[in-house]
Amino acid sequence: MKVAELIANRTDVYTLLESCTVLDAARFLREKRTRAVGIVSADGKLVGVVSQSDISDKVAAENKCPAWVRVSEIMSTSLEAVRPDDTLDECLRAMEKRGIFHLMVMDEKGRYHGIISVSDLLASIVSDEKARADMLEAFMFGQQS
């Protein structure tokens, strides 16, 4: 399966402005039930990513006030990106090699298409394996009516 197929049904690409506070980001992540969000500049260019880990490690653990810290101060700027035509196996290998849990999806023109997470990849793998198991069961034991 390719990244494009994984993200095809998504209706929203979540982003926040780099000027927003960490408090705003934390509330946004909670509201959207996601663990990371792309951070964009005022002109809409992707400039970073903020995850729950960033908030925990760089704000909460340092006893900083999330209402006073901007996401631009804590965001990760070395973005690991994949393209829509990359396979999910390639994505999983990239995450494992780099020890990361999120990849930015960028097309060949540099447009941002969202984030894929290790959870997205694992859900897809589990779904594929279940389908294979169901097909094998039907083949070996026939359809039960």
CATH architecture for residues 3-141: Roll (3.10)
pTM of the model: 0.81
DSSP 67-88: TT-BHHHH-B-S--EE-TTSBH
Contacts of 109 (CB under 8 A, 6+ apart): none
Quote the longest CA-to-CA distance of the chain. 63
Closest alpha carbon to 70 in 143, 127, 20: 20
User: How far apart are the C-alpha atoms of 48 and 126, rounded to whole Å?
Assistant: 30
Residue 8 scores a pLDDT above 80:
yes
pLDDT score recorded for residue 131: 64
Mean of pLDDT values over 32-43: 94
For all residues of the chain together, what is the average pLDDT? 89
Of the CA atoms within 13 Å of residue 107, those in its CB half-sphere come to 6
102 within 8 A of 120, measured Cβ to Cβ: no
DSSP E strand boundaries for 1-145: 15-17, 36-40, 46-51, 81-82, 102-106, 112-117
Mean of pLDDT values over 29-56: 95
